[in-house]
Structure 1
């Protein structure tokens, strides 16, 4: 199915739309559906200016949401510059392979440049080959210089 779409920066008016997509995104990553908590989470990010979300909608029917991306601000101490963490990117199944993800990524890059950021960083699971191909096709590079570690604070040690 072909989609003509527009991408806009999300506002508080878009919380319910984004929450639906966000819940589907979490399901993709094998999390339990929880629309109430998804709505609460998205509302808090926007209300507290803790993230920037771009939303793709059908051009001719703006009530149909196609996808979103969410960016979180961060900083590089070494370069003393701002950077953005592209934490979430999701396109509804009915809109995949129509250019929505690519345009969301381009909008995120445009926004990051306007904010004078040094870079955008993201991560994806190793078996998400379609996403990796997309990222690399628009200039993202796999980090070969550093390892990323995490400390799970939900498990007592």
Structure 2
């Protein structure tokens, strides 16, 4: 397995994975919008995306955004997206992507990593196994809908 930090040259490999991720969260498939969104993230460098390959096939990705903590006056990452192609699950790809995110966090001397996901997401076990602890203090959300 090879994990690379995504650049614009990886967009075409990311599109089907990111679209699959969105469909998993009950969003309509839209490859063109996905491509535009990913190109923006990579061009603006407002997120870090890691992509996992097995035998030159893109099999998973994770996307991190920077969040600032006013209380600790420290930056941290939000691991907002993690997705593994269904044909490649249970092969430690998620663990490898999380470990890459942890290494980046340590390298940049950030406070830690927050994971944003649905409470019913089956990956909850993966996150707990990888040392993430549920934080019951972070439980409100307002939407501008």
Q: TM (normalized to structure 1)?
A: 0.89
**Aligned counterparts of 1:77 and 1:20: Cα–Cα separation in 2:** 36
Counterpart of 1:10 in structure 2 is: 6
Q: How many equivalent pairs are there?
A: 145
Q: Deviations over 1:96-138 (max 9, x none)?
A: 000000100010110111111001001221222x311111111
Q: Choose which of 126, 137, 147 in structure 1 pairs with 2:138.
A: 147
Match of 1:24 among 20, 42, 48: 20
Unaligned segments of structure 2, at least 5 residues: none
RMSD: 0.9
For residues 16 and 88 of structure 1, what CA distance do their matches in structure 2 show? 17
Tell me, which stretches of 5 or more residues in structure 1 are unaligned? none
After TM superposition, what 4+ stretches of structure 1 lie above 3 angstroms from structure 2? none
Q: TM-score, normalised by structure 2?
A: 0.96
Q: Quick check: 1:132 aligned with 2:103?
A: no
Q: Distance in 2 between matches of 1:85 and 1:147?
A: 13
What whole-Å deviation, never above 9, does each CA across 1:3-34 have from its counterpart, x for those lacking one? xx111111110011111110000000010000
